[in-house]
Structure formats: C-alpha cells, structure tokens
Amino acid sequence: MRNVTYYEHVSAPSGCLQYHTSLVGSIETFNFNDIASPYPISMDYAICIQRQPGFCGVKLSTSTLGDSFGLNTNSALTTDGFEADCYDTNGTNPILSSDYLELLGGYSLQQMNQIPASKICGLYDGTTAVFPGVYSSFPGPITLRFRSDGSLKAFGGAGPAINADQAQGIVASGGEKGFRLSYSLTPNCP
C-alpha cells in the first residue's frame, strides 16, 4: 500500500503550466496589466482547471474588479473577437496576429443564441467594453490554451511594430496587455 501525500494529490496534470483547483477563481497571463510590458511573445501553454463532481462546465467572465481582457484581434472592431478574428487562418501572413485564448467547445450567448467562441481575442476593459462571457461544457479536463505569436502587433491586422515608438503605442492601447478572467464551474450545462 502506498501513502499519497498532499502534494501528489494537488499536483498539476502533465502539460499544465497553471493549475486551478477551486470552484471559482481567476486566471491570468504572465505580465498581466504591466504598464510597461505586454504579455510575452511566442507563448503556447495550457491553463487547467480541475473538474469537480457535480459540475459539467465552466464560465469565463470579467466579474471581479480589475479583471479585463486584451489580446490582439485582426478585426477592425476591437471587441467580439472570436474564431478567425484571432489568428492567421492560413498561417502565412506575418502581418496578422495569432494571439488568442482557446477553450475547447467554447461558446458565447448573444441574444439567446450560442455563438462559437473556442478562440477568443479582443479588447475588453471591464467597464465600457464588457467581456461577453464564454462557456464550455466540453467533456474531459478543463484546459485553456494561451497562444501568442512572435511579435508585438497593432489591432486590425496592421502588422508588427517596426520601432520603439510603435511598440510603446501598441502597449499603451492595451491590445497586448493580456487578461485576468474570473472562472466559475457550473452545474447547469446545455
């Protein structure tokens, strides 16, 4: 018989750089809200939330003071960035951003309709532009993938910064500041 220690019980599953075990909490990117620095480039890692008995899904929102979301989008609009607005669909255009948060089976509710939202980007300050709320009841481990491409880019597919002034402007716009989102496990799934 083997004794299991507390640390073995709460260790993160393989591949999870961040691991959350509570029913509610918050997740955030490295360097979130650092005025002088965006989130790191060339990141691709998993944020995992432990599934709990009696709960079938997760809701992501900006419900706590200080929460916000700022991942670059290729859309002319800075909000409602989902799916193809968040990445270079062909993988061949260096001007387009490929920064996003991915949640398998993700969807948003807009006018009582489910809108696919497994890849999420955009600028939501939590006050004038409120994150729309994203849900998932995808089976298996609750895993979010954060991906950032290899350069600092302006909104709307305007391309990478070519000098320090442009880089400072992009950082000041909030487009690559990262995110802090509240999460809550939910027992009510469609």
- Per-residue model confidence as pLDDT tens digits over 97-121: 899 999 989 988 876 778 888 999 8
pLDDT for 20: 94
Higher pLDDT, 133 or 65: 133
Q: Taking 80 as the threshold, does the pLDDT of residue 8 lie above it?
A: no
Q: What is the rounded average pLDDT for all residues in the chain?
A: 83
Gap between the Cα atoms of 147 and 20, Å rounded: 19
Residue with tokens 């920064």: 99
Q: Are 134 and 27 in contact (CB under 8 A)?
A: no
Task: Note whether 60 and 182 are within 8 A (CB).
Answer: yes
The per-residue pLDDT for 44 is 96
Q: What does the pLDDT read at residue 79?
A: 58
For residues 190 and 185, what is the distance between their CA atoms, to the nearest angstrom? 14
pLDDT of residue 25: 95
Per-residue model confidence (pLDDT) at position 12: 82
Amino acid making up residue 168: Q
Q: Provide CATH code, domain 13-186.
A: 2.60.120.290
Tell me the residue type at 161: A
pLDDT at 49: 94
Residues 25-82 have pLDDT tens digits of: 999 998 887 777 788 889 999 999 998 999 999 999 887 676 788 888 887 666 567 8
Q: Kindly state the percentage of the chain with pLDDT values over 70.
A: 88
Residue 3, pLDDT > 60, answer no
